[in-house]
Amino acid sequence: MKKIIDLNTFANGALAEKVNIELQKVLENISDPNTDHKKARKVTITMTLKANERRNLANVLVDAKSALSPSVGVESELIIDFTPEGDITGAELKSGIPGQAYISNDGEVLDHLGKPIPAEEPVNKKVVQFK
């Protein structure tokens, strides 16, 4: 087959540059752990030729586009409740179970919404005399 154009040098190398830019995006998307590794990515090269009336000359528009894999969604849970005024509200459940306290990575005791639980006051342990 006869070579009509050299894709590396066509449009002063713009075609090869566009393909490399889009390929770089695809490679970054593949290496992103927040995307699905199984999804296929694409680099599409488009050459649009528009001939003049005499059909002896064509304007050529070259472009390259990539189709990437979207980021994987992140799941959480909202506790739905009412304010004292009766308005509906929500808060992210941090502990996994409503009403359950947990220990943060910093060792702090937090409630199910991730708010610090105040330390309990020491109980007065004096002996009380009963009659």
Are 45 and 92 within one domain? Answer: no
Whether this model's pTM surpasses 0.85 = no
Full residue range of the structural domain in which residue 103 is found = 78-110
Are 59 and 99 within one domain? Answer: no
Question: What pLDDT band is residue 131 in, cutting at 50, 70 and 90?
Answer: low
Are 57 and 102 within one domain? Answer: no
Are 15 and 60 within one domain? Answer: yes
Is residue 72 assigned to a domain?
no
pLDDT per residue as tens digits for the range 54-109 = 999 999 999 999 999 999 888 888 888 888 999 998 888 887 788 888 888 888 88
Residue 114 region, left (φ>0) first, then alpha (ψ -120 to 50), else beta? left
Number of domains the chain is built from = 2
